[in-house]
Chain A
Amino acid sequence: MAKVAIYSLTVLLAVIFVIPLVWMFVVSFKPEGVSAITINEWVDFSDLTLQNYKKVLTESQILRWTYNSLIIGAITTIITVLISSLAAFAFSRKTFKTKGFWFILCASGLLIPTEAMLIPLYETVLSMNLLDSNWGIILPSLTNPLGLILIMQFMNGLPKDYMEAAQLDGCKDLRLWWSIYMPLTRSAMISIGIFYFIMSWNNFIWPYIVINTEENMVLATGLPTFLANNVLHVNTIMTASAIAAIPTMIVYILLQKHIVQGVSMTGVKG
C-alpha cells in the first residue's frame, strides 16, 4: 500500500515537471492568441499550425544565434579541456619547487564568480578590443579550474609505471602527455567536456553584457530580444523557446549517461 502511494507521488511529480515543457510545445503550434489553457484546447488538433515556426525562423536571427552558440561552445570546450589536461599533467606527474604556489593560484579561480567582477572584466575585454566578438565570450570563460582539478585527481589515480617506462625510452614529456595520458583520461575528459559545453551553451550574463549587435548574440541572450520586439507575440515567444530547447533536449537524450556522470563528478567535489 505504502509502495503504491510512493509510486503515485513519483508519477505525479513527474507529470508536474513535464507539464510546462509540453505546454510550451503545444502553444508553439497553436495560432496566435490561443493559449491552450483548457483541456479542450489541448486535445483540439485541428488548429495546429506551423505558422509561428515560419515566422520566428524568418523574422528573427534565431538560426544565426544557434550557430554562434554552437561555435562558441565547441571552441570553449576544446580549448578548456586541452589546457586543463596539460596543466593537470604538470601538477600530477612533475616535481617542481613552486608547484604549491601555482596550484593555489589556479584553484583560486573557484572563489570569485564572473557575476562579481562584471565591471573590471568588461574594462579588460574593452581594452583588448574584443567587445561584441566571439572571443570576447570565449577567452574569459577558459579559466574555470574545476576541470583541471578533476582531471588531476583522475591522473593521480593512474599508476606511475607508464611514466617511468616511457622516460627510459627517452620519450619527451609532451609526447608522453599526448599519446599516453590523454587517451588514458579520455572518459573523464568526455564527461568534463560535455559539462563545459552545457555551461557555455547556457552562459547568460556575460554574453548579455559583452555582445550588443543582434547578429553576434548567442541563443541564450538572443531570446530576450523577443520581449522588446513587439512584432512577435505571445505564441511566438513559446515557439522561439521551443526552437532553442530542441537541440539541447536531443543532445540530452543522446548523451544522458555522460551528462549525468559529468554532473555527479563535478558536483560532489564541488
Chain B
Amino acid sequence: MRAQHSAGARWKKLLKLEFSAIAFLSPFLIPLIVFYIWPLLRGVWISFHTWGILGMQKYVGLDNYTKLLTNGDFFKYLWNSLYFVLLVVPIIILLGLILALLIQRKIPFQTTFRSIYFLPYVLSVSVISFIWLRMFDSKHGLVNVILESLGIPPINWLTDPGAAWWSIVIATVWWTVGFVMVLFLAGLQEISPELYEAADIDGASTFHKFRYITLPGLSSVMKVQIFFQIIAGLKLFGQVQIMTNGGPGDVTNTIVRYIYVTGFKKDMFGLAAAQSTLFCLFMLLIAAIQFMLLNRKES
C-alpha cells in the first residue's frame, strides 16, 4: 500500500517536472509550430492541388510534380542558383581569408581597415543593389568610367548575358565578404602563437607556416563558412530582383525568384508549392551532406 502510494507520487512528480519544463519552452515552441512546422506540412498538402491565391482548389494528385519534372524550367533555374554558388563561394572564401590575413597583425589603423571591409554587410540588400545598379550603369556608372581610364572598353554589365552574373557576384562579394573575414579573424585568434614560435625556431618559411599551421587551424571555420555561403547563395533573390529582374531574358532568374513568380505573379499556388517542396528537399540534402562532412572529421 505504502509502496504503491510512493510510486504514484514519483509518477506525479515526474509529470510535473515534464510540464514545468515544457511551459518554459512553449513561448518558443508555439510560433515554431505555427510558422514553421505547420507550413512545411501544409506546403506538401497544397502541392497536390491546383490552388489560386483566393483559395480555389481541386485535388490533382501528383500532376504538379509531373508538370514540373517534365518541363525543364525547374532544373534550369535550380542550375542558375547553383551556378551563382559556384561563382560566388570560392571568391568570397578566398577574399575573406586574404582580408583576414592582411589585417590580423598589428598594423597602423588595423581596426579602421576591419571596419571598412565589414561596413557594407550592415546595409540592406536594397541599398547595396541600388548602389551597384548605378555603379554598373553602362553610361553613367563609375565601373565603366574606371575601366575606360585603364583602356578597357565599356561593358554592358546588366544587359549582357555574360556579364550580368558577374555584376550580381561582385555586388554580393562586396556586401558580404566582411562577414567571412570577421569569422576568419576569430579563427586566427584561436591558433596558439606557440606553434608559430616553434616553427620559427625550426626555420620554417612563411609559406610552410601558412600551409601547416594557419590553414589546418582555420579548417573548421572554413568548412562551416563554405556551407553557410552555399546556403546563402542558393537563397539568392533580392539582388537579382532589384538589379536585373532575372534578366537579360531569364539568365539571372534563380530558383527562389522562379517560385516567387509562379506563386505570386502567375497565381499558381499549387505548382509553386510543389516547386517549394522539391526545393526544401534539396536544402535538406545539402544540410545532410554538411552534417556528414562536418562530423566525420571530428570523430
A residues within 8 Å of B by Cβ? 6-7, 9-10, 13-14, 17-21, 23-24, 27, 35, 37-38, 82-84, 86-87, 89-91, 94-99, 102, 105-106, 109-113, 115-124, 139-140, 142-143, 145, 148, 173, 177, 198, 201-202, 204-205, 208-209, 219-221, 223-224, 226-227, 234, 237-238, 240-241, 244-245, 248-249, 251-253, 256, 259-260, 263-264, 267-270
Contact = CB atoms under 8 A, between A and B. Distances in A.
Given A20-B135, A97-B14, A227-B242, A244 B124 contact: yes
Contacts of A7: 107-108
B32 interface: yes
DSSP majority for the A interface?
helix
A124 B263 CA distance: 14
A230 to B, nearest CB: 15
Given A173-B24, A205-B237, 6 more contacts: A21-B120, A38-B145, A86-B28, A120-B273, A202-B123, A223-B127
B126 A221 contact: yes
A121 B35 contact: yes
A240 B126 CA distance: 10
Interface of B: 14, 17-18, 20-22, 24-25, 27-29, 31-32, 34-40, 42-43, 46, 99, 102-103, 107-108, 112-120, 122-127, 130-135, 137, 140-142, 145, 174, 179, 182-183, 185-187, 221, 224-225, 227-228, 231, 235, 237-238, 241-242, 256, 259-260, 263-264, 269, 272-273, 276, 279-280, 283-284, 287
Contact of A14 (B20, B113, B122, B242): B113
Nearest to A260: B182
Contacts of B235: 113, 115-116
DSSP majority for the B interface?
helix
28 contacts: A20-B135, A37-B142, A83-B28, A83-B31, A86-B24, A87-B27, A102-B22, A109-B32, A111-B283, A113-B231, A116-B276, A117-B36, A118-B259, A119-B43, A124-B38, A139-B34, A140-B31, A202-B124, A208-B241, A223-B127, A226-B130, A234-B134, A237-B133, A244-B126, A244-B127, A267-B182, A267-B225, A268-B183
A27 B127 CA distance: 14
Contacts of B187: 268
B117 A237 contact: no
Contacts of B116: 14, 17-18
A135 to B, nearest CB: 11
Given A20-B132, A115-B237, A123-B39, A96 B124 contact: no
B124 A248 contact: yes
Contacts of B24: 86-87, 89-90, 94, 173, 177
Contact of B142 (A9, A20, A264): A20
B176 to A, nearest CB: 11
Nearest to A265: B186
B28 A99 contact: no
B107 A95 contact: no
Given A21-B120, A102-B22, A109-B32, A120 B276 contact: yes
Nearest to B118: A260
Contact of A224 (B228, B242, B283): B242
